[in-house]
């Protein structure tokens, strides 16, 4: 069991944004977090990575709670945010070094792990560049790279496909599948449903801060009583139910 | 909402924001420094005036430079925002009224500043026996006239679509100004006054004739205003972090050896802070400026009491202005996610300590012309203060 979330309730002020959420992600499992804008996906992620404190509920990663040993808990997570967050004053190479330093990875090992990824993303000649010189897609690639070189046991990827070119999307999917094979767990939030349907083992559909449905595509089809439906159809049904498609 | 309402709100907000930041700029320490430096400058100025010989040439040259800088700086406050080029374009005629108001405001504002500089510098001309009585009035008026020509041109240039025309006008103005000012300073203030009055009238007629018909050069309007705002904030940023600091980061590869200093322990916070400090001009520029001013002040001052006060004061200023480094670590999402416990006090303390040690040494060395004893004395004061600042004042301050 990698990530286990039980009855998690949390939000920004007194009113909870996410209510009584429970789900697990097993080792070697890729789970898609799906929901309309403002459904609570990002808030859920913020709670998991420890940027927000839950009002109530339990969260453990490989049996370890954040509060028990924050350092160990955090080391197990690789987070790729929706909007790339980079240091304006550090070069690409220095981003790799500071990540290595923060996650206790030897700098030479980190560079070794980074080399094939740099090549894949065509960034190997740009090690001396500053983030301001990068396009949005390139910045996203740097974020991906920094998360992958720490080799965490849980990858949390918020909207990974935005801004990436088709080749990079293909490469990222390959990388995620590789990590899955190696036994890592992955949680991905996305609106690109065709990709999600192709690669995710399970889905969690969040609506208004609550889990609306979860399970494999087969489970979802049963919940919505829509045999042979695609994830896109199910999503549309959800929107319809919410009154967005009148 | 009419356009004039829009600009009224904008103006209110502009002054509100400025006064908010000014409160930080004019903090107690800075006011003390200004009073101190102001007093010292006034004293030096008085001594200088007493030492001037009648008919000396050097004071005129100094005056020429000061007046040129005063007259050819500053721009029109328009409060234009980039989005205006999209949204206000259909209302260009109504916008004319706003711009006229802006022009009048700028004429008054800049005239006052010029008058102030003129009054402060007039004693130089009196000391060399160049002007007296009404001559002072003629001198001051010709300065104000020139400033008005400059502001009118800044206004008109915003309607100018051809870069070359604008450039020619500026060259003409600078050339005529140089001749007139030289005449005022070396021959007679009255002749200078008459020429500037005639030129102002001629230029006014020219601008009025052309500025009525032409449309605004929006790109230039936006660019000029952005540059003006940027200049204001680059000063404010020396004192407080504002969201408007847009200094481009420079790689400065030659300085990479600095990060290998052993004292900078290998942890993410100090790894980041040291590089950020060097490459972000907001911080390194501030440090360098205070360092240079402090060194010059100590080098030229003969009194050891003044030296010690200046040295410790500048050490304090450097240290104090670098405290926001902690905020950068605190506000960074990365450092909240990194596994190691978030430590924002120690790294900031380390870095400021290192910078203060370097400053202490340099300040002490600046007194070397006075002999070895002043250097050692200064070194003693500096290190005592640095120790107090880093180990007693800073921890308490950073915990807040």
The answer to whether residue B247 neighbours chain A at the CB level (below 8 Å) is no
Quick check: B271 and A128 CB within 8 A? no
The answer to whether residue A128 neighbours chain B at the CB level (below 8 Å) is yes
Quick check: B251 and A50 CB within 8 A? no
* Same domain membership, residue B202 and residue B108: yes
Quick check: B339 and A130 CB within 8 A? no
* Same domain membership, residue B281 and residue B205: no
Tell whether A147 is covered by a domain.
no
pLDDT tens-digit readout, A104-147: 899 999 999 999 999 999 999 999 999 988 999 999 999 999 99
pLDDT computed for residue B247 by the predictor: 63
Quick check: B251 and A91 CB within 8 A? yes
Write phi, then psi, for B221 (nearest 5 degrees). -55, -50
Q: How far apart are CA A72 and CA B32, in angstroms?
A: 49
pLDDT tens-digit readout, B368-396: 877 888 899 999 999 999 999 999 999 98
What would the two tokens of residue B200 be? 């102002």
Other residues' Cβ atoms within 10 Å of the Cβ of residue B262:
6
The answer to whether residue B281 neighbours chain A at the CB level (below 8 Å) is no
What would the two tokens of residue A152 be? 């965490």
Tell whether B26 is covered by a domain.
no
Considering only residues 225 to 244 of chain A, which have any Cβ-Cβ distance to chain B shorter than 8 Å? none
Whole-model pTM above 0.80? no
Chain A CB contacts of B341 below 8 Å: 70-71
Quick check: A130 and B338 CB within 8 A? no
The answer to whether residue A91 neighbours chain B at the CB level (below 8 Å) is yes
Tell whether A210 is covered by a domain.
yes
Tell whether B265 is covered by a domain.
yes
The answer to whether residue B336 neighbours chain A at the CB level (below 8 Å) is yes
The answer to whether residue A134 neighbours chain B at the CB level (below 8 Å) is no
Residue B85 class from Cβ within 10 Å (0-12 exposed, 13-18 middle, 19+ buried)?
Answer: middle
pLDDT computed for residue A142 by the predictor: 94
How do A30-34 and A56-61 pair as beta strands?
A: unpaired
* Same domain membership, residue B280 and residue B184: no
pLDDT computed for residue B263 by the predictor: 67
The answer to whether residue A108 neighbours chain B at the CB level (below 8 Å) is no
* Same domain membership, residue B308 and residue B269: yes
Candidates A198, A201, A194; CA nearest to A235 is A194
Query: In angstroms, what separates the C-alpha of B249 from chain A's closest C-alpha?
Result: 6
Tell whether B23 is covered by a domain.
no
pLDDT computed for residue A246 by the predictor: 44
Residue among B253, B280, B340 minimizing CB distance to A102? B340
* Same domain membership, residue B267 and residue B231: no
In this complex, how many residue pairs, one in chain A and one in chain B, have their CB atoms less than 8 Å apart? 64
Which residues in chain B land under pLDDT 50? none
Which residues lie below 8 Å from residue B12, measured CB to CB, with a gap of 6+?
Answer: none
Quick check: A89 and B268 CB within 8 A? no
Asked if residue B278 lies in contact with residue B258, where contact means CB atoms within 8 angstroms, the answer is yes
- Please give the tally of structural domains in chain B: 2
State the Rg of chain B over Cα. 26
Domain span holding position A36: 3-82+152-242
A210: helix, strand or coil? strand
Domain span holding position B216: 59-235
Chain B CB contacts of A70 below 8 Å: 339, 341
Tell whether B50 is covered by a domain.
no
* Same domain membership, residue B214 and residue B106: yes
- Please report, for the domain that includes residue A31, its CATH number: 3.40.50.300
Q: How far apart are CA B70 and CA B143, in angstroms?
A: 10
Residue among B249, B267, B339 minimizing CB distance to A89? B249
Considering only residues 257 to 276 of chain B, which have any Cβ-Cβ distance to chain A shorter than 8 Å? 266-268, 271-272, 275-276
Q: Select the residue from A80, A81, A83, A89 to test the B interface by mutation, using most B Cβ atoms within 10 A.
A: A89
Quick check: B249 and A49 CB within 8 A? no
pLDDT tens-digit readout, A205-215: 998 899 988 99
- pLDDT for residue A183 is more than 60: yes
* Same domain membership, residue B260 and residue B197: no
Q: If pLDDT is split at 50, 70 and 90, which confidence band does A243 have?
A: low
pLDDT computed for residue B341 by the predictor: 74
Quick check: A101 and B267 CB within 8 A? yes
Candidates A4, A60, A2, A48; CA nearest to A29 is A2
Tell whether A146 is covered by a domain.
no
pLDDT computed for residue B40 by the predictor: 77
Asked if residue A133 lies in contact with residue A125, where contact means CB atoms within 8 angstroms, the answer is no
Q: What angle do CA B65, B69, B73 make, to 5 degrees?
A: 170
Tell whether A192 is covered by a domain.
yes
Residue among A51, A75, A128 minimizing CB distance to B251? A128
pLDDT computed for residue B193 by the predictor: 92
Q: How far apart are CA B123 and CA B46, in angstroms?
A: 10
Q: Where are the alpha helices (DSSP H) in B268-371?
A: 268-279, 281-300, 304-321, 325-331, 333-337, 345-366
Query: In angstroms, what separates the C-alpha of B351 from chain A's closest C-alpha?
Result: 16
Tell whether A100 is covered by a domain.
no
Beta partners for residue A3, in sequence order: A25, A61
The answer to whether residue B243 neighbours chain A at the CB level (below 8 Å) is no
Estimate the crossing angle of helix B281-300 against helix B268-279, to 10 degrees. Answer: 70
Q: How far apart are CA A145 and CA B342, in angstroms?
A: 23
pLDDT tens-digit readout, A40-67: 999 999 999 988 889 999 999 999 998 8
Residue among A74, A88, A101 minimizing CB distance to B337? A74
Asked if residue A144 lies in contact with residue A172, where contact means CB atoms within 8 angstroms, the answer is yes
Final residue of a structural domain among B188, B203, B235:
B235
Considering only residues 183 to 212 of chain A, which have any Cβ-Cβ distance to chain B shorter than 8 Å? none
Residue among B279, B333, B338 minimizing CB distance to A89? B279
* Same domain membership, residue B341 and residue B192: no
Tell whether A176 is covered by a domain.
yes
Nearest CA in chain B to A47: B337
* Same domain membership, residue B273 and residue B159: no
* Same domain membership, residue B229 and residue B282: no
Which residues lie below 8 Å from residue B359, measured CB to CB, with a gap of 6+?
Answer: B290, B291, B294, B314, B315, B318, B382
Q: How far apart are CA B75 and CA B103, in angstroms?
A: 10
Q: How far apart are CA B130 and CA B37, in angstroms?
A: 29
Residue among B249, B266, B337 minimizing CB distance to A132? B249
Tell whether B4 is covered by a domain.
no
The answer to whether residue B280 neighbours chain A at the CB level (below 8 Å) is yes
Give the CA diameter of chain B: 75
Tell whether A195 is covered by a domain.
yes
* Same domain membership, residue B63 and residue B163: yes
- Please give the tally of structural domains in chain A: 1
* Same domain membership, residue B258 and residue B206: no
What would the two tokens of residue A51 be? 């940027």
ipTM computed for the complex = 0.84
Tell whether B180 is covered by a domain.
yes
Final residue of a structural domain among B202, B235, B268:
B235
């Amino acid at each position: 069991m990698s990530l286990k979330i039980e009855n998690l309730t949390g939000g920004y002020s007194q009113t909870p944004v996410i209510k009584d959420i429970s789900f697990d992600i097993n080792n070697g499992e890729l789970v898609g977090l799906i929901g309309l804008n403002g459904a609570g996906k990002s808030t859920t992620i913020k709670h998991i990575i420890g940027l927000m404190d839950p009002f109530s509920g339990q969260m453990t990663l490989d049996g370890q709670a954040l509060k028990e040993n924050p350092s160990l808990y955090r080391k197990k997570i690789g987070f790729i945010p929706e909007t790339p967050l980079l240091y304006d004053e550090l070069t690409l190479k220095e981003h790799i070094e500071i990540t290595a330093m923060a996650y206790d990875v030897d700098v030479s090992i980190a560079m070794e792990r980074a080399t094939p990824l740099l090549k894949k993303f065509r960034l190997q000649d740009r090690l001396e560049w500053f983030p301001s010189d990068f396009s949005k897609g390139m910045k996203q690639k740097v974020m991906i790279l920094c998360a992958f070189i720490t080799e965490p046991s849980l990858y949390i990827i918020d909207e990974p496909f935005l801004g990436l070119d088709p080749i990079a999307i293909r490469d990222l999917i390959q990388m995620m599948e590789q990590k899955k094979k190696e036994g890592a767990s992955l949680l991905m939030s996305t609106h690109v449903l065709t990709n999600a349907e192709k690669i995710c083992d399970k889905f969690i559909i969040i609506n208004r801060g609550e889990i609306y449905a979860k399970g494999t595509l087969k489970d979802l089809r049963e919940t919505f009583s829509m045999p042979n439906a695609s994830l896109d159809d199910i999503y549309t049904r959800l929107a319809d139910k919410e009154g967005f498609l009148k | 909402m009419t356009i004039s309402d829009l600009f009224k709100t904008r103006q209110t907000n502009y002054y509100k924001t400025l006064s908010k930041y000014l409160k930080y700029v004019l903090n107690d320490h800075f006011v003390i420094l200004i009073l101190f430096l102001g007093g010292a400058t006034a004293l030096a100025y008085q001594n200088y005036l007493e030492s001037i010989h009648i008919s000396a040439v050097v004071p005129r040259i100094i005056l020429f430079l000061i007046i040129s800088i005063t007259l050819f700086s500053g721009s029109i406050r328009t409060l234009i925002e980039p989005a205006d080029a999209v949204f206000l374009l259909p209302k260009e005629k109504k916008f004319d009224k706003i711009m006229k108001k802006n022009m009048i405001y700028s004429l008054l504002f800049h005239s006052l500043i010029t008058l102030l500089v003129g009054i402060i510098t007039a004693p130089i001309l009196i000391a060399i026996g160049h002007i007296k009585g009404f001559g002072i009035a003629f001198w001051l008026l010709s300065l104000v006239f020139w400033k008005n020509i400059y502001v009118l041109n800044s206004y008109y240039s915003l309607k100018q679509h051809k870069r070359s025309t604008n450039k020619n006008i500026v060259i003409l103005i600078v050339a005529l100004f140089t001749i007139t000012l030289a005449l005022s300073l070396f021959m007679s203030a009255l002749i200078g006054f008459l020429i500037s009055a005639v030129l102002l009238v001629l230029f006014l007629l020219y601008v009025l004739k052309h500025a009525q018909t032409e449309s605004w050069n929006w790109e230039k309007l936006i660019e000029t205003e952005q540059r003006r705002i940027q200049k204001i904030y680059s000063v404010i940023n020396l004192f407080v972090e504002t969201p408007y600091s847009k200094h481009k980061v420079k790689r400065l590869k030659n300085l990479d050896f600095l990060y290998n200093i052993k004292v900078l322990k290998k942890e993410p916070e100090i790894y980041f802070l040291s590089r950020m400090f060097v490459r972000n001009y907001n911080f390194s520029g501030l440090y360098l400026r205070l360092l240079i001013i402090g060194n010059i002040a100590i080098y030229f001052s003969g009194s050891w009491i003044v030296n010690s006060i200046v040295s410790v004061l500048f050490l304090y200023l450097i240290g104090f202005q670098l405290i926001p480094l902690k905020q950068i670590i605190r506000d960074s999402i990365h450092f909240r996610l990194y596994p190691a416990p978030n430590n924002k006090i120690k790294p900031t303390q380390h870095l400021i300590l290192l910078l203060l040690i370097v400053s202490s040494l340099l300040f002490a060395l600046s007194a070397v012309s006075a002999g070895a004893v002043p250097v050692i004395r200064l070194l003693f004061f500096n290190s005592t203060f640095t120790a107090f600042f880093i180990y007693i004042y800073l921890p308490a301050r950073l915990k807040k």
